[in-house]
Amino acid sequence: MDTTAATSPGALRDRMVDRILTSQDLPPWVETALRSVERHRYVPEAPLTDAYDEKAVITHAFPDGTHLSCASGPTIVAAMLTALDVRPGQRILEIGAGTGYNAALLATLVGTGGHVTTIDINADVTAAARRNLDDTGFPHVRVLTRDGADGAAADGPFDRVIVTVGAWDIPQAWWDQLVPDGRLVLPLRWRGTTRAVALTRQDDHWKSDWVFLCGFVPMLGQPGERKSVIHPDGLAALHHDLDQPIDTEALRGVLDREKSTVWSDVTVHGQEPFDRVWLHLSAVDDGTVRIEADQQAVTEGLCTPAIASRSPALVKDGSLAYFTIRRTSAPGRWQLGAIGHGPLGHRLASRIVDQIDAWDHDRTADPEILAFPTGTPIPNQTKGKIITKPENRLVLRY
């Protein structure tokens, strides 16, 4: 066997695309772009195999280690490009230049008759993207250093806008710079979770037709979330949105208060995702937040969320409940439930179990998401949970 050929960039790239195809369908033009654009040349400091693995490659970070920019994992890149539905000759705006790799894919998709503009607020990021694009044959991609929230009106209007940083809100400029039948794909953050969402215009608002689990570096300049420590020794914290009237002081020490555990009859096997339980909670309860537990808290049994670093929770009036799991007697299976603390802990845990049951009825269902720009009234007959942000109000409904 020729091991050199097997580990060549071309072979690794084909292997990457073949792996993506096991979990999602790709349009032929997206598949062709992924097989042709040399991903490893956009992350030259990473080992060759890492460039094509299913992982994000960090390229820039703040001094404290917080991630500033990265090359997203190939699966989410492919999924978002498919959802964007790029056509030859279109004008594309990308918010978040990253390494330039995604812009190169977009330029490949629009062809010689199209135009791609990519923006980033950090000059080091745009300089690297510019260099990578020039070195790989994409000098025609326009790279701008500016706040992505402002868009690039001079290069518009755009047929498509894609956002490759986690957006907590949707700036008006993005709506204004899209053509009437345009399409916006972005990682949208609410209630402690992030989902890639594709939105199209519906008269005076926007409606989703695709939702996909993802994780992205947060967009700078959108401080929409807060972190509140709820344990005296800092072993647990809550992440919540600015529109949520949460009394965090009343929750300090809540994990030491009376405890209630409620188990559902729902089980999953070890590799089965259950992240959509979070979506169900956010679509019905204003108190949905993210809980984060230190490993010491988990080891000592103080706080045992399903995923220690990020699990959904509910809070109300100084009480808390969070999503948890436990092994069953059946090999490889886990039971889903909730643990509550405080006077309302049992009631909140029961609410979580209700949404576990709702998810169990259709485990692949995603909510429909409507976005109404601020100032646009939401019709009285519109059903769903309203989440208020400075520039938009989201409506989540099943």
Please name the residue ranges forming H helices in the chain.
3-6, 9-21, 28-36, 48-52, 74-84, 101-110, 123-135, 172-176, 248-251, 276-282, 295-299, 345-361
Q: Torsion angle of alpha carbons 57, 60, 65, 68, nearest 10°?
A: -100
Provide the 10 A C-beta neighbour count for residue 270: 9
How far is the C-alpha of 352 from the C-alpha of 390, rounded, in Å?
28
- Phi/psi at 17 (5° precision): -65, -40
Q: Which amino acid is at 97?
A: A
Answer yes or no: 311 catalytic. no
> Nearest to residue 172, comparing CAs of 395, 390, 388, 387?
390
Catalytic residue of the set 8, 36, 69, 72: 72
Residue 137 near residue 110, CB atoms below 8 Å: no
Q: Which amino acid is at 291?
A: I
For residue 373, whether the previous peptide bond is cis, meaning omega lies within 30 degrees of 0, is no
> Nearest to residue 13, comparing CAs of 90, 105, 95, 93?
105
* DSSP helix/strand/coil, 174: helix
Structure token digits, residue 63: 């001094």
Query: What DSSP character marks residue 165?
Result: S
Active site residues: 72
